[in-house]
Amino acid sequence: MAERAGSEGGDLAEARIDAIRDAGLVETRRAQILDASLQLFLKKGYAAVTIREICAASGVNQASLYDYIANKQDILRRLLNRLWFARDIEGLADRLAADPAPVSEVLRAYYAENWKTNRDAILLAYRSVPHLTPEDRKLLREREERVIRELSARLAERTGALEEDPRVRTVSNFLIYLNAFGPFRDWLMRDGEEDVMLEMVGAAVDAMVARLG
């Protein structure tokens, strides 16, 4: 009924289509479609983008498009699976578990690395929420909850705070929100201020983490 990506499950259901036999071709064309769609969705918003625009930008014929994706919603779901559900924000928890450096340093390093990479994923996910079905929205939320829970566990472990302490959960939530600072504000931030941004965000993170001790 639905193909599943390689991850541990929990991602959005992707329709199966078997009109085209050549699996490699399917992959190629789907990549074209998804790449073009992402650009357009980010620029104009999901609902304002037409199938015809996607076809023009991806070079896929309007009828052929439906040999590779089931419908417009299916494009969004595949994009979110590719960007959001496969995104390595969960790596933050793993890194806290593995890296013996001080918590605040681990966090700073993480932000410095991921700030720009996650940009598209964050913007697409936050802005697409209204266009998702309730079930898909639920899955998005559950993934966030899971990430926050893992992060909380590592954070408690490293700072000595209790995992049930609501402050731990709040800080976790906050750390993830901080990761979206760059993407959401880059219509205002100028180039070259990124190091300043990191320094100040780092200071904020330090303070919050210190409170947990």
Partner DNA sequence: ATAGCGTCCTGACAATCGTCAGGTGGGCCA
Partner DNA sequence: TGGCCCACCTGACGATTGTCAGGACGCTAT
Q: What are phi and psi of 73, to 5 degrees?
A: -55, -35
Q: What are phi and psi of 143, to 5 degrees?
A: -65, -45
* Secondary structure element (H or E) that encloses residue 85, with its range: none
Of the candidates 84, 197, 201, the residue with the CA atom closest to the CA atom of residue 137: 84
Side chain identity at residue 68, one-letter code: Y
Rounded (10°) angle between helices 91-98 and 134-159: 10
Say how far apart CA 119 and CA 20 lie, in whole Å. 33
In the complex, least distance from residue 133 CB atom to DNA, rounded to whole angstroms: 13
205 touches, from DNA, its own copies, none (C-beta below 5 to 8 Å by class): its own copies
Map residues 34-63 to x or -, x wherever contact with its own copies holds by CB under 8 A.
Answer: --------xxxxxxx---------------
In the complex, least distance from residue 21 CB atom to DNA, rounded to whole angstroms: 4
| Residue entry with tokens 């390595």 | 88
Does 20 interact with DNA (rule: CB under 7 A)? yes
Q: What are phi and psi of 89, to 5 degrees?
A: -65, -25
Integer angstrom CA distances of residue 161 from 5, 166, 210, 213: 36, 10, 10, 6
Does 129 interact with its own copies (rule: CB under 8 A)? yes
Query: Residue 20 or residue 200: which is nearer to its own copies going by CB?
Result: 200
Does 25 interact with its own copies (rule: CB under 8 A)? no
Does 162 interact with its own copies (rule: CB under 8 A)? no
In the complex, least distance from residue 46 CB atom to DNA, rounded to whole angstroms: 9
In the complex, least distance from residue 88 CB atom to its own copies, rounded to whole angstroms: 19
Say how far apart CA 11 and CA 85 lie, in whole Å. 6
56 touches, from DNA, its own copies, none (C-beta below 5 to 8 Å by class): none
Side chain identity at residue 63, one-letter code: A
Interacting residues with its own copies (CB under 8 A)? 42-48, 126-127, 129-131, 141, 144-145, 148, 166-167, 169-171, 173-174, 177, 180-181, 184-185, 187-189, 193, 196-197, 199-201, 203-208, 210-211
Interacting residues with DNA (CB under 7 A)? 19-22, 25, 29, 49-52, 60-67, 71-73
